[in-house]
Structure 1
């Protein structure tokens, strides 16, 4: 599967539990929407992913990627220390200038 560099970097950072590298995939004004909450900017995104990594030890396995001008969608099998693991989630990404501008995670 051919992923844009920033999406590949995002997956790699997640699987290494590297919250700084994960946050660096996002623009300064990026947003993340996950589990009914929204996080704004790199600092909040870094704190969110640090907490998620600590609580769930999530590993991503990309299974599909579709790209359009408005939005890209990465489907990934997510496994970790949470009830119902593994699950398939959709990562709705807005990519701007090689960075993630927004990310919304849905089931």
Structure 2
């Protein structure tokens, strides 16, 4: 699957539980929406993913990717130590200048 570099980097960071590398895929003012919560800015995103990594040990397996301009959707199988694992989730990205500006995770 041919993913934009920033999304491939995000998947690799997630699968190696590297919260710093994960956060570095985002712009300084990025926003993430997941599990009914919003996380704003790279530092807050780093804290959120570090806590999620510790709690859930989630890894991603990309299944399908579609992109249109700056908008993209990645469907991925996510498995970890959470109820219902594995799940197929959709990651809705807005990518600007090679960085993720926004990410919304849905099922």
TM class by smaller structure: over 0.9
Give RMSD over aligned pairs: 0.5
User: Which residues in structure 2 correspond to 1:1-107 (within 5 Å)?
Assistant: 1-107=1-107
1:71 Cα deviation (Å)?
Answer: 1.4
TM-score (norm 2): 0.99
| Alpha-carbon shift at residue 70 of structure 1 (Å) | 4.5
Q: Which runs of 5+ in 2 are unaligned?
A: none
Runs of 4 or more consecutive aligned structure 1 residues displaced over 2 Å after TM superposition: none
Task: Please list the CA deviations of residues 42-64 of structure 1 after superposition, one character each: whole Å capped at 9, or x if unmatched.
Answer: 00000000000000000000000
SS at match of 2:49: helix
8 Å Cα contact 2:70/2:96 also seen in 1: no
Q: TM-score, normalised by structure 1?
A: 0.99
Deviation at 1:4, TM superposition (A): 0.2
